[in-house]
């Protein structure tokens, strides 16, 4: 019986080591005496903080970004035991000489295990990274996985390992809090419509005369990304610099919102074409307007006389309310998980306006109660939908966590101005192309993105690229969803 109990204990430790810790080598390191474990955690935080990007004066940001980019092209690794800095080719020799196996890379500050020969992710160390400096080590001392059979069963059912493979795709190096740029650029790079444009006779940098043109920077990124001579990741330095110079609010290494950057990028791409119109109401003929911009119709009906006032505005995305307390969402009775279709139905449902908001022209201009409804007048070829997870008000600022169900394909006809028209529904079918995820707190965190690559899906976490299953994408806590019109030949006008 003692032998059986010993074997069971070894199996239990193996399971816990593989799931609770980043790898079995890290489990051994952190499973030693308390002083040794705390010293390793302190070294982890020290290395992390030494690589943190410090605020720079705006005048020196661009010069600093260029010097940083050259440094990122050759990543360095800080030994977490002795703080010695090694190049990639020197790691093994350092381990053979000293026995030190753990390093932090200078690009994304990820943990590298020389014993595994790969980057590893550890939940406990990640909590240290996300916690305030003064309380980081205290946070690490909180509840660990218990040795109960229930925890072991959960770990056995959910702990998986997936090999990393680029398979013809390329990651983007993080230049210091630039994950917001990386996820949007990866989304564009994997879009077949945009690839056809930029790799064909689209925007030509050698003919462009616009200073610090964002269109030129994106075109160069497409050329670099699709270079057959390179397989490693690359830096979108020119796009970062052009973005900084075009928008003072983007300049610097502070956190940025990926949704706001997408809106900025689309607007700058639109402005980079020679035949564009600044006034979107005139029906701009440029490629980017036709690709990204749709049209929303707002109808306000006077509750007293029934007069309807209609206005139409351009849209570059749909911002959908997912705050459960405010909107009724879900796919049916008893459903507790919000759904994309529920968000769209809420977005296009009639809404009672507050008294005093609407002045009816048919009621002698008097203030009347009214009902407002939004509908999609025209759909773009690339449809971006933001699931509004961030709420800011005078009383609260919070982030809504949790999954919102979304499909691989969606019919947008029910949300248009003619939802019941007898038309070919294929003209309104959209297929998912990318899903952007934000992990972290309201004022900090990290972005990564799932992109469709042919018939497969890839996870892009800065320069790390991992093949994933379709189920992994659908289970993601998405923040931005990008859908492509299935049939461009029958695009709705």
Domain ranges in the chain? 18-49+73-137, 178-272, 316-323+337-368+380-490
Contacts of 124 (CB under 8 A, 6+ apart): 20, 21, 30, 140, 144
- Which phi and psi angles does 375 have, rounded to 5°? -140, 155
Q: What is the pLDDT of residues 253-308, one digit of tens each?
A: 888 899 999 999 999 999 888 877 776 666 788 889 889 999 999 999 888 888 88
Which residues are identified as catalytic? 179, 446
Q: Kindly give the interhelix angle for 61-72 and 237-246, rounded to the nearest 10 degrees.
A: 170
Instruction: Give the distance between the most distant pair of CA atoms in the chain.
Output: 92
Instruction: Report the distance separating Cα 89 and Cα 440, nearest Å.
Output: 33
Q: By C-alpha distance, which of 479, 386, 383, 393 is closest to 432?
A: 383
User: Taking the alpha carbons of 248, 253, 256, 258 in that order, is the dihedral positive or negative?
Assistant: positive
Residue ranges of the chain with per-residue pLDDT less than 50: 1-19, 54-58, 70, 72, 132-148, 155, 160-167, 324-335, 490, 492-493
How many residues are there in the chain? Answer: 493
According to the model, what pLDDT value does residue 419 have? Answer: 84
Q: For domain 316-323+337-368+380-490, is the CATH number 3.40.50.970?
A: no
According to the model, what pLDDT value does residue 296 have? Answer: 94
Domain 18-49+73-137, CATH number (from 3.30.40.10, 1.10.599.10, 1.10.600.10, 2.40.240.10): 3.30.40.10
Instruction: Report the distance separating Cα 295 and Cα 399, nearest Å.
Output: 29
Q: By C-alpha distance, which of 363, 373, 482 is closest to 417?
A: 373
DSSP conformation class of 172: B
Category of 375 on φ-ψ map: left (φ > 0), alpha (ψ -120 to 50) or beta: beta
User: Taking the alpha carbons of 486, 488, 490, 491 in that order, is the dihedral positive or negative?
Assistant: positive
Instruction: Report the distance separating Cα 449 and Cα 465, nearest Å.
Output: 10
Helix (H, G, I), strand (E, B) or coil at 53: coil
According to the model, what pLDDT value does residue 226 have? Answer: 82
Lookup: tokens for 305: 């006389």
Tokens 């290395």, located at residue: 47
Lookup: tokens for 173: 């190096």
According to the model, what pLDDT value does residue 150 have? Answer: 58
Contact status, residue 256 vs residue 180, Cβ threshold 8 Å: yes
Q: By C-alpha distance, which of 468, 477, 461, 481 is closest to 126?
A: 461
Q: What is the CA radius of gyration of the chain?
A: 26
Q: By C-alpha distance, which of 343, 454, 310, 322 is closest to 399?
A: 322
According to the model, what pLDDT value does residue 166 have? Answer: 38
């Amino acid at each position: 019986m003692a032998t059986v109990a010993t074997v069971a204990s070894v199996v239990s430790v193996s399971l816990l080591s593989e799931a609770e810790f980043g790898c079995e080598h890290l489990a051994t390191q952190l499973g030693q005496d308390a002083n040794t474990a705390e010293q390793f955690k302190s070294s982890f935080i020290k290395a992390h903080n030494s690589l943190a990007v410090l605020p720079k004066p705006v005048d020196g940001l661009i010069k600093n970004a260029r010097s940083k980019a050259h440094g990122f092209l050759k990543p360095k690794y800080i030994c977490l035991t002795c703080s010695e800095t090694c190049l990639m080719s020197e790691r093994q020799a350092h381990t053979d000489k000293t026995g030190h196996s753990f390093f932090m890379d200078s690009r994304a500050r990820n943990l590298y295990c020389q014993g595994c020969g790969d980057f590893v992710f550890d939940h406990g160390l990640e909590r240290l990274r996300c916690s305030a400096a003064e309380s980081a080590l205290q946070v690490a001392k909180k509840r660990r996985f218990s040795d109960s059979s229930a925890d072991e069963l959960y770990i056995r059912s959910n702990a998986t390992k997936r090999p990393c493979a680029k398979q013809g795709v390329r990651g983007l190096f993080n230049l210091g809090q630039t994950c917001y740029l990386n996820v949007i650029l990866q989304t564009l790079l994997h879009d077949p419509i945009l690839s056809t444009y930029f790799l064909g006779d689209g925007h030509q940098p050698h003919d462009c005369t616009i200073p610090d043109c964002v269109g030129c920077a994106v075109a160069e990124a497409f050329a670099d990304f699709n270079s057959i001579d390179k397989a490693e990741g690359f830096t979108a330095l020119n796009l970062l610099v052009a973005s900084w110079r075009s928008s003072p609010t983007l300049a610097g290494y502070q956190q940025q919102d990926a949704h706001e950057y997408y809106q900025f990028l689309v607007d700058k791409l639109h402005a980079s074409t020679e035949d564009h119109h600044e006034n979107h109401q005139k029906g701009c003929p440029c490629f980017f307007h036709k690709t990204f911009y749709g049209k929303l119709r707002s109808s306000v009906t006077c509750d007293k006389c029934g007069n309807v006032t209609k206005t139409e505005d351009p849209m570059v995305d749909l911002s959908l309310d997912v705050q459960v307390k405010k909107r009724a969402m879900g796919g049916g009775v008893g459903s507790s998980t919000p759904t994309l279709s529920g968000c769209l139905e809420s977005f296009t449902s009639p809404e009672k306006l507050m008294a005093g908001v609407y002045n009816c022209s048919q009621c002698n201009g008097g203030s009347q109660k009214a009902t407002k409804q939004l509908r999609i007048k025209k759909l773009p070829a690339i449809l971006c939908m933001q699931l509004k997870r961030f709420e800011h008000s005078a009383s609260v600022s919070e982030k809504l966590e949790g999954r919102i169900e979304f499909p691989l394909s969606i019919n947008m006809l029910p949300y248009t101005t003619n939802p019941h028209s007898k038309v070919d529904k294929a003209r309104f079918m959209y297929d998912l192309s990318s899903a952007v995820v934000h992990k972290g707190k309201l004022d900090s965190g990290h972005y990564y993105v799932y992109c469709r690559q042919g018939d497969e899906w890839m996870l892009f976490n800065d320069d790390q690229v991992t093949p994933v299953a379709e189920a992994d994408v659908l289970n993601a806590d998405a923040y931005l969803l990008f859908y492509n019109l299935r049939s461009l030949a029958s695009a709705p006008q």
